[in-house]
Structure 1
C-alpha cells in the first residue's frame, strides 16, 4: 500500500475533519492514513453520514409500537405492519444543498434516492410527497430555485412512474440562499419478504449493479455538511445527475432479484457511494469485504481509487448474494440491460480491503466508520437565543383591529396560503391508479392498498415560523398537525419519519433550536402513539457570505419536517375536506382562543415577526382528534378540514372552492374578530353536517366533552362573515388559484 506523501492534519481540515478526528483516525489505524483512507473517513464521519452532532438526541425519540417491523437505523427505511400480511416501508430525506446550487438535478436525484431506499427493502414504491421551502418570490433566484426544483421532481418522478400525491410549500426570505427540498416515499412489501441491508457469509460475492460510476457527487456528503458560502458554486461536481429511466429498470431488476431468495443483503449507493454501502452492510453483518475497485464499471477513464469509492453517481446498488447463484443473478440484470459486475467477496475480517489493479489502496475497519460504531459522537453546547424572551413579550392589544376586507384579500393571495395548482399540475398524480385524493381532496394524501379495503394516509407538515418562535412547542405542533390531517381524512396515525432541517450545529443558539425540537417531537409522538422510524438530519442550512459572521439569524427557520404515515382501515369511511351542499351546517370542533401569535396574518399583514408560537395544548388536541375520529366512524359529518395556516378564514375558503359553494358564518363575540377568523391556535377542525345528522352530531359531541360550536352554514353564494361579504366568490377563487402562477411568470 502506497505510503509516500501521507496527508497531514491540514489535509484533513480541507476534507472537513477536525484535528481531534484526524488523531482518532491515526489511533484506529495504528498509523497515519493515506489520502484514500482519509477521504473515506471524511465522508463517513461527515454529519450527513454519521449524525455525529445529533445522534445523542435522536436516540431519545420514541421508537417502539406493536406495528414496528424495523426500528430507526436498522434498515434503509422504516417498516410498519399494516395488516393483511403487508407492511409499508416509508422514509423522508433531504437534498437541500444540491438543490441550492443546481435545483433541477438536486431535486431529481433527491427523488431517485428516496425511492431507492424503499425498493432496496423489497417494497414497491406507490406514493411520493415532498416538503419544499423557498425564499421570497419577489427574488429572481428564489423563483429560479422553485421552477428548477418543481421541474426536477416532476421530471424524475413522472418518468419513474410513481405518483406524487401531496406535499407542502412555504416561502420566506430566510430560505433565499438555502431552499429546503425534502422528499418522501412509501412502498408496500409482503411481511417476511423484506430485503435487508447486511452482509455475511465468507466467500459470498459482492456485486455493483445499475449505472456506471462517474465523478459526479464526489464528496457530496461532505458538501452537505457545511454552510452554503461564496465558494459553494465551485462544488457543483458534488451535485449528482440522475436518470429516472435507468432507475425504473433498476427497480424492476432489484425486486426480481430479491424475489429469488438468493440475496443476502442489498443497499442503495446514496451519500458516500461505495464506501458507505460496503461499510454499513459489513458492520451490520459483523463481516468484512475485499473489494476490487478496478472491476467497478466507470463512465470516465483513469478514475482514482478515492473517486470511485466516494462517487455518488445515481441508480446504483451494492448486492451480496449466495455463492453459487452468480449466473442466476447476472441473468436477471442482463435481461434488464443493467451493469452487474462482481467487485469483491465477503470475508470474516470485519475490515474493508480495497484493491486497485492488485494493489491494496485502503485498509479500514468497517465498524469504526459507521453510525453506532466508531464514528465520533458529540454533545454540543446549546443556549437560548436572546430573541426567545423578546418574542414572548408580544401583546395582542398592541395590534389594532384591521380592515377585514383587506386582510381577507391579502391571505387569499399570499404565497404561503394559495393553491399549489401550478406545482401539482406538473406532477403525475394518477400513475398506478391508486391515488384517491386528486378529485376529492382530503387533509392528507390517501392511496389505496390494492386488493384490500384499506388505504395509506400520508402527510408532511411543519411550520418553521412556529418552531423558531418556540422549538419545543412548534415541533410538537407539527406532529399534532400531521396527526390531525390524517384523522380528518379518516385515518389512524401509525408512525413518523422526520427530516430535521437546521443551521450550523456548532452555534449554541441553533443547537438549542434542534434540542427543543427533538423534545417537542418526542412528547407529541408518545401522545399520538406514532414512533419515529428514522429519517434525516440536515444541518448547515445557513449562508455565510464574505465578511459576515454566522449566527442564528443567518440560518433558515428551524424546520423539523414531520412525515406521518396513517392507515384508513375502511375505504367507506374516508373523509374529504369539501363542503357537500348548500344548507349544511358548519361547526367548529375544538377550543378557540384570543390568539393571533405567529399567524400569517400577524407576520405578513401586520408585519410583526416577534411573537411566540400559537396556542397549543397537547391533551386538548388529542381529545379533539379522538372526537373527530368518532364523528367520522359514525358517519355524522359531511366534511372535515383542520385549521392551520390562515386560520378559520382559509379553512372555510378551501372547503368552499372544491364544489363552487360559499358560506355564511358568525364570529364569536367572546373573542377578537381577527383572532377568531385569522388566528392559528391549534387543536381545531371545521366540519360540515347535513340537517339530517345535526341532532345526532350534537349528541355525540356533547358526550365527548370536547368544545364545539355552530358558526353558520354552507351557501350557494359568496363568502359572508357577520352579515358582510368580505370578498366575492369569483375574486376569491381567482386570487387563490392563480396567484402563484402570476408570481412565477415574472
Structure 2
C-alpha cells in the first residue's frame, strides 16, 4: 500500500500525474507542499481538487471582480455569498432564499439520462447544505441542431433525466430554456438551478470547527461511479484481476435523495448539526478538505469506515468517487446519538468516520495506515491560479462588420405573414411542451407561475403569500458578437422576465459556459463576459451570490457559442397580486413599453431565415431596464398581462400572448412593419390594460420615463396586423406546436 511512510522512503516512484490532468509544475508544487512525493491517495485528492471544475484555476482571476459589487439587496443584506455552497438572500419576514445554477455538461453528453439526473441531484444538495428546504428547480438546456442525429440521442435522455429525478424528489420544475445551435452539437449544455427556503436562524455553513467534534458520513453507500480519470490511477494499484475501468458518470437514486432531504431537514430542526457539506464534485476529497479548511483546520478520518457498495475499491477511488446522495456533517459528541436516531428513523445509513482535530492537517488512515497527511487549505483553497493569455480575436472586427442590415427582408404582407409563421415554428421559438410536459410543475401546491411564463414563481409563505420569482436567460449569439454586451443582455433579459410577473429583482447566480481556456480567443470572451456581468450588476444594484464556471466546452477546434447563463431572483410581496403572461381577456388595450430600433444582427430572424450571424447585438441600456422594472412592479394590479420582447421580437411576443389563452389581437404598426415585428431591441415589454386604465398606464410610463406605444386591442380568434396580414390562431397554434413532436416523437 502506498502510505505516507512509503512515499517518504520511495521519492522517485513514477506517478500518473499527467493522466490525472495535472501539469508538470502542478505536480512539482504538490511535492514542494508536502516535502515529498504524494501518496497515490494524496495525488488523487490534489488532482480532482485542483481540476478546472473544482479549483476555478483559469477563471478565478476574473471571478474575483464580482466581489466589488455591494452585498446589499433592496430587501436587506446577503446572508451568504460567493464561496459557500449557494448564495443566501434575505427576502423579508424572517425568510431567506438560497439559489444557485450549476453545469453538468460533459457527463450529460456521455450518458444523457444519468448525467442530467445527477446534475439535478447535485444542485439540490448544495441548496440543502445551506439549511434550506429545496422548493423548485429549473433547467437551462442547449443542444445541437434539432435535426441532428446526436441531438436525437442526447435530448430525450437529458429531458427524461431532469424530469425523472426532479419528479421523484417532488420538486416542481418552474422554468428554463431549450436552445438549439450547431455549436452545441457534441457538447450539449445541461445547467440546473435549485431554489430553497429557510428562516434566517436556520442558515448552516460548510465548516468543521470544535476539536473533538465527530465527522459523520450519511446517505448512500460509496461506489465506483463518477471516478473518471482515476481509472488510470487505479491500474497502478489494482491487482491484475481487479476492475479495469469504472464508470465516469455518476448514477443517481432520487428516492434515496428524498430520504436524505427529509432526514437532513429534521437534523437541522433538532439542532444537532455544527457544520455540513454535500458530497458532489470530487466526493470525499472535497468534503473533507473543504470542511477542514473552512473550520479549525484539522481533521482525522478513518477511511475504512466508509460504507461501500463495492468492496474492491482502493482508498484513492473512495476519495475520488462522486457517488450521489451523500452528505458529511460535523456533530458535537453529545449530539451523535440523537443524530444517529434521526438517520435511523429515515432509513439513512450514517457512520462516524472521523473527528475534528487541532493538528492543522487533514489526516486519513486506511486500515490503520496513514495514506493522506496534507494541509487542507492547499487541497481545497490554495490550488493553482492561472492568468491565461487572452486577446480580442483577429476575426472579431470582421464578424461585427458583417451586420444583418443587407440581408433580404420580407416586403409584402404575405411575406411578413410567412416570416411570422416560420419563426413561430422554429426550434428556438416553438412550443416546448414536449419537454416541459415531462416535468411536474405544480407538485407541492406552491407554484404560482411556470413554463411557458416569462419567469417561474413560487409562494414561500402560505399566510402572507410572500413569494419569489426566478428566470434564466442567455443569447449565445449576442455573446459571440460582443461578449461584454452579450452578458449584460443576458442579465437584462433575466431581470426583465422576473419583473414582468411583478417581482422586484434582488440577486444573480450565473453559469458561465465557454470553450477551452487555453485558447486566447475564448479567454477573451470569458474575461469580457465577466466584466460585462460585473458592470451590469453594479448598475442594476443586484449582487452575484455565486455560480459556476464550465470550460472546455468544444468539439475539436469548435468552441460553443459563449453562453453566460444568468439567473435572476426577485421577491414578490403577495403572489396573489402578480401579472400573468399572455393576453387575459378580450376588449383590452395592447401597448408596448420601451423603444424599438432597427436591431436585427444576431436576431432569431437572421438565424432562422438566413443562417446568418454577424454585426453588433442590440444596444444595452440598463438604466432603461431598471426604469422598466420599476414600472412593472408598480403596475401590478393595473397591468392585466405582460410579456417581455426578446428572441423573435414583437412578432413572437404577440404569437405567444395570443396563444396562451386563445385570445386574438388587432394591432397597428406606425413604423417599418418588418423592423417593428422582428427587431430584438432590449428593454421592451408587451402589456395589456383595461380600457378605463389607459390614462393610469400613461401616467405611470411618464413617471418612470418609459416610452409607451399603443398597438391595438385584444379580441377575436385571429392575430391581425392592420394593412399587412392576418393569421387565424388555429393556424398559428398548429405551426407553433408541431415542431418538437414531429422531430422527436
Q: TM-score, normalised by structure 2?
A: 0.94
2:34 to 18, 21, 29: 29
Q: Following the alignment from structure 2 to structure 1, what is the Cα–Cα distance between the partners of residues 408 and 477?
A: 22
Are 1:392 and 2:400 matched, yes or no?
Answer: yes
Q: Following the alignment from structure 1 to structure 2, what is the Cα–Cα distance between the partners of residues 266 and 557?
A: 37
Cα displacement (A) at 1:391: 2.3
Cα displacement (A) at 1:405: 2.3
Cα displacement (A) at 1:206: 0.9
Aligned residue in 1 for 2:63: 58
In angstroms, what is the RMSD of aligned CA positions? 1.8
Q: Following the alignment from structure 1 to structure 2, what is the Cα–Cα distance between the partners of residues 182 and 662?
A: 35
Tell whether the 8 Å contact from 1:493 to 1:528 is kept in structure 2 after alignment: no
2:610 to 603, 606, 626: 606
Q: Following the alignment from structure 1 to structure 2, what is the Cα–Cα distance between the partners of residues 560 and 178?
A: 15
Aligned residue in 2 for 1:302: 312
Deviations 1:651-676 (A, max 9, x none): 0111111221111112222xx33221
1:116 to 111, 118, 125: 125
Aligned residue in 2 for 1:443: 454
Cα displacement (A) at 1:697: 1.6
Tell whether the 8 Å contact from 1:444 to 1:489 is kept in structure 2 after alignment: yes
Cα displacement (A) at 1:9: 7.4
Aligned residue in 2 for 1:624: 628
Cα displacement (A) at 1:56: 1.2
Q: Following the alignment from structure 1 to structure 2, what is the Cα–Cα distance between the partners of residues 221 and 577?
A: 49
Are 1:701 and 2:701 matched, yes or no?
Answer: yes
Aligned residue in 1 for 2:135: 126
Are 1:531 and 2:533 matched, yes or no?
Answer: no
Deviations 1:82-129 (A, max 9, x none): 111111111111110100110000000011111111112221111111
Tell whether the 8 Å contact from 1:442 to 1:575 is kept in structure 2 after alignment: no
Q: Following the alignment from structure 1 to structure 2, what is the Cα–Cα distance between the partners of residues 703 and 34?
A: 68
Alignment partner of 1:87: what SS? strand
Q: Following the alignment from structure 2 to structure 1, what is the Cα–Cα distance between the partners of residues 529 and 403?
A: 25
Aligned residue in 2 for 1:258: 268
Deviations 1:278-330 (A, max 9, x none): 00010001321111111100011121110011100000011110012221111
Aligned residue in 2 for 1:636: 638
Are 1:500 and 2:504 matched, yes or no?
Answer: no
Q: Following the alignment from structure 1 to structure 2, what is the Cα–Cα distance between the partners of residues 627 and 208?
A: 50
Alignment CA distance shift 1:687-1:291 (3 Å): same
Alignment CA distance shift 1:500-1:235 (3 Å): farther
Are 1:416 and 2:428 matched, yes or no?
Answer: yes
Aligned residue in 2 for 1:547: none
Tell whether the 8 Å contact from 2:644 to 2:685 is kept in structure 1 after alignment: yes
Aligned residue in 2 for 1:19: 24
Are 1:592 and 2:601 matched, yes or no?
Answer: no
Alignment partner of 1:386: what SS? coil
2:574 to 570, 582, 603: 570
Tell whether the 8 Å contact from 1:135 to 1:179 is kept in structure 2 after alignment: yes
1:139 to 134, 148, 151: 148
Aligned residue in 2 for 1:664: 666
Tell whether the 8 Å contact from 2:403 to 2:616 is kept in structure 1 after alignment: no
Q: How does 1:91-110 map to 2 (within 5 A)?
A: 91-110=100-119
Q: How does 1:371-386 map to 2 (within 5 A)?
A: 371=381, 374-386=382-394
Alignment CA distance shift 1:625-1:169 (3 Å): same
Aligned residue in 1 for 2:91: 82
Alignment partner of 2:281: what SS? coil
The runs of 5 or more residues in structure 1 that have no matched partner are 224-233, 545-549
Deviations 1:161-201 (A, max 9, x none): 11111111100111110000010001111111112211011
Q: How does 1:193-592 map to 2 (within 5 A)?
A: 193-219=202-228, 237-371=247-381, 374-402=382-410, 403-438=415-450, 442-451=453-462, 452-544=464-556, 550=557, 554-592=558-596
Q: Following the alignment from structure 1 to structure 2, what is the Cα–Cα distance between the partners of residues 648 and 344?
A: 60
Cα displacement (A) at 1:473: 0.3
Q: Following the alignment from structure 2 to structure 1, what is the Cα–Cα distance between the partners of residues 726 and 17?
A: 63
Q: Following the alignment from structure 1 to structure 2, what is the Cα–Cα distance between the partners of residues 56 and 30?
A: 28
Q: Following the alignment from structure 1 to structure 2, what is the Cα–Cα distance between the partners of residues 428 and 622?
A: 33
Q: Following the alignment from structure 1 to structure 2, what is the Cα–Cα distance between the partners of residues 6 and 81?
A: 52
Tell whether the 8 Å contact from 2:467 to 2:571 is kept in structure 1 after alignment: yes
Alignment CA distance shift 1:395-1:267 (3 Å): closer
Cα displacement (A) at 1:646: 0.5
Q: How does 1:147-158 map to 2 (within 5 A)?
A: 147-158=156-167
Q: Following the alignment from structure 1 to structure 2, what is the Cα–Cα distance between the partners of residues 344 and 204?
A: 9
Aligned length: 720
Tell whether the 8 Å contact from 1:269 to 1:316 is kept in structure 2 after alignment: yes
Q: Following the alignment from structure 1 to structure 2, what is the Cα–Cα distance between the partners of residues 189 and 626?
A: 27
Alignment CA distance shift 1:528-1:222 (3 Å): farther
Are 1:185 and 2:194 matched, yes or no?
Answer: yes
Tell whether the 8 Å contact from 2:20 to 2:229 is kept in structure 1 after alignment: no
Q: Following the alignment from structure 1 to structure 2, what is the Cα–Cα distance between the partners of residues 601 and 572?
A: 37
**The 10-residue stretch of structure 1 (399-408 or 158-167) with the greater mean CA deviation from structure 2:** 399-408
Aligned residue in 2 for 1:231: none
Q: Following the alignment from structure 1 to structure 2, what is the Cα–Cα distance between the partners of residues 155 and 305?
A: 32
Tell whether the 8 Å contact from 2:100 to 2:193 is kept in structure 1 after alignment: yes
Cα displacement (A) at 1:738: 2.6
Q: Following the alignment from structure 2 to structure 1, what is the Cα–Cα distance between the partners of residues 103 and 10?
A: 37
Tell whether the 8 Å contact from 1:43 to 1:222 is kept in structure 2 after alignment: no
Alignment CA distance shift 1:478-1:710 (3 Å): same
Cα displacement (A) at 1:580: 2.1
Tell whether the 8 Å contact from 2:45 to 2:285 is kept in structure 1 after alignment: yes
Aligned residue in 2 for 1:741: 741
Tell whether the 8 Å contact from 2:107 to 2:115 is kept in structure 1 after alignment: yes
Aligned residue in 2 for 1:230: none
Cα displacement (A) at 1:220: 7.0
Are 1:615 and 2:619 matched, yes or no?
Answer: yes
Alignment CA distance shift 1:483-1:397 (3 Å): closer
Alignment partner of 1:109: what SS? helix
Tell whether the 8 Å contact from 2:72 to 2:78 is kept in structure 1 after alignment: no
Q: Following the alignment from structure 1 to structure 2, what is the Cα–Cα distance between the partners of residues 260 and 699?
A: 53
Tell whether the 8 Å contact from 2:293 to 2:377 is kept in structure 1 after alignment: yes
Q: Following the alignment from structure 1 to structure 2, what is the Cα–Cα distance between the partners of residues 269 and 609?
A: 42
Aligned residue in 1 for 2:170: 161
Aligned residue in 2 for 1:687: 687
Are 1:170 and 2:179 matched, yes or no?
Answer: yes
